[in-house]
Amino acid sequence: MFYIIGPRGSGKTTIGKQLAEYKGYQFVDTDKLILERAGKSIAEIVEQHGWDYFRQLESDVLQSIKQDNVIVSTGGGIILAEENQRVMRDNGTVVYLNANPNVLVQRLAAEPQADQRPSLTGKSLLAEIEEVMQQREPIYRATAHHVIDATQPVEVIVQQLKDLI
């Protein structure tokens, strides 16, 4: 199993899909699984039940993925639960797609998905990403077996990951 972690806009889904296609593996996006199981968008889940409830759904989905030969793209905050960090590290290879906040803001502004993820802080996108990354960066690094520079072209990143598998 191969887990891809990182913040919103780091390319987890794009890279994961291409890598899965190349390897002939199944691709699983934990956010999509949550949407399918809950029958609601993440924004609706958080609005109706709160972040703690969403984080529990995220953990349940992560632990439900049991098959081998799968590439798992995770939600940006999945690493906040120590249990999730352990599950990923113990069951596969964890890759952190790292990018600076300015790059992430440019990508998110280019492809806005407002219904996908509500604001965590209510601040501007750049201020929010900077704050979230300050908190999560050490956790991403501690969880990952490999750190990849996500500002490189997609083809370069996919080739680096092909070499890891």
| Residue 98, helix vs strand vs coil | strand
Q: Is there a binding annotation on residue 52? A: no
Helix ranges (DSSP H) in 24-81:
30-38, 42-49, 51-64
Q: Is there a binding annotation on residue 39? A: no
Q: Is there a binding annotation on residue 76? A: yes
Q: Is there a binding annotation on residue 41? A: no
Angle value at C-alpha 144, between 50 and 111, nearest 5 degrees: 55
Q: Is there a binding annotation on residue 136? A: yes
Q: Is there a binding annotation on residue 92? A: no
Angle value at C-alpha 145, between 143 and 148, nearest 5 degrees: 100
Q: Is there a binding annotation on residue 123? A: no
Q: Is there a binding annotation on residue 37? A: no
- In angstroms, rounded to a whole number, what is the distance separating the alpha carbons of residues 62 and 57? 9
Q: Is 58 exposed, middle or buried (0-12, 13-18, 19+ CB in 10 A)?
A: buried
User: Is the CA virtual torsion 94, 10, 141, 119 positive or negative?
Assistant: negative
Q: Is there a binding annotation on residue 106? A: no
Find out whether 105 and 126 touch, Cβ atoms under 8 Å.
yes
The single-letter code of the amino acid at 32 is: K
Q: Is there a binding annotation on residue 162? A: no
Binding residues are 9-14, 31, 55, 76, 117, 136, 152
Q: Binding site for Mg(2+): which residues?
A: 13
Q: Which residues are annotated as a binding site for ATP?
A: 9-14, 117, 152
Cite the annotated binding site for substrate by residue number: 31, 55, 76, 136
